[in-house]
Amino acid sequence: MKFIPPFGLGTFRLKDQVAIDSVRTGLELGYRHIDTAQIYGNETAIGQAIAASSVARDELFVTTKIWTENLGSGRVLASLQESLQRLGLERVDLTLIHWPSPNDEIPVAQYLSELLEAKRQGLTAAIGVSNFTIAHLRQAIDAVGVDEIATNQVEIHPLLQNRQLVDFARQQGIHLTAYMPLAYGKVLAEPAIQRIAAAHGASPAQVALAWSLQQGYAVIPSSTKRENLAANLAAAELRLSAADMAAIATLERGERVANPGFAPRWD
């Protein structure tokens, strides 16, 4: 598997021409990791943006996610084939289970085994999970082995540092991808983040993204504005001090943004 690029372009809530423009601009600026999902309803638009770009396919890292309605027997593979058709790709680089089956109606072992079969068939270079709790990660490890879990994509930002889950993932050697790394902008209003940004001549968004990157997470912020896309990408160059990291550590308050009614019982 190709290494998961630490900086990706998220596409949640981007549709149609807005999604095409965001991905096209991102690719022009140097993004090479594009993150989508079946439920986003934008795989076709993203496929169009990729096809229209001059970036070679082997330079790109494309992630999609299997929606909960497609976790039933036979649907994992079939739905991934449909995703590939929409994306206009022969295979994706990473396919994630988007959420555990609501109320655990379908066993983790069943749908992850199907996803592993999709990898064996060459539909995806790697597999992983998203929104998995410690309990779900244990089941995933039992089902396919820890080496097959390329990442767990979860909500992590300075206001929700998810420490129990992070500690478990690190103990197991499971990589983490932080989604909603800016908590829909809530992080940017934090005085501590603003102070650190001012001291570095950086933006609050860059500080929050650098905080995630320095802990080894991949980040997938989204934006529709060229200047924000460029500024976000520049966060990879920002180095925060130990004092900066310690100050941000105090901002943890369990402020979760993504918490739909079918979400698992969080750690």
- Is residue 7 within 8 A of residue 218, CB to CB? The reply is yes
User: Which residues are part of a known binding site?
Assistant: 98
Catalytic residues: 40
Integer angstrom CA distances of residue 225 from 18, 24, 108, 115, 236: 10, 11, 38, 35, 18
Residue 2: what pLDDT? Answer: 60
Question: What pLDDT is recorded for position 256?
Answer: 97
Q: In which residue are the tokens 């990706």 written? A: 8
Q: For the chain, which residues make up each domain, given as ranges?
A: 9-250
Cα 161 to the chain's mean position, in Å? 15
CA distance 219 to 226: 18
In order along its 267 residues, the chain shows pLDDT tens digits of 568 999 999 999 999 999 999 999 999 999 999 999 999 999 999 999 999 999 999 999 999 999 999 999 999 999 999 999 999 999 999 999 999 999 999 999 999 999 999 999 999 999 999 999 999 999 999 999 999 999 999 999 999 999 999 999 999 999 999 999 999 999 999 999 999 999 999 999 999 999 999 999 999 999 999 999 999 999 999 999 999 999 999 999 999 999 999 999 999
Nearest to 82 by CA among 44, 136, 121, 116: 44
Whole-angstrom distance, CA of residue 44 vs CA of residue 120: 25
Predicted pLDDT at 3? 85
Binding residues for substrate: 98
- Residue that has been written with the tokens 């080496």 in this structure: 147
Comparing C-alpha atoms, which of 73, 74, 133 is closest to residue 100?
Answer: 133
**The architecture CATH gives domain 9-250:** Alpha-Beta Barrel (3.20)
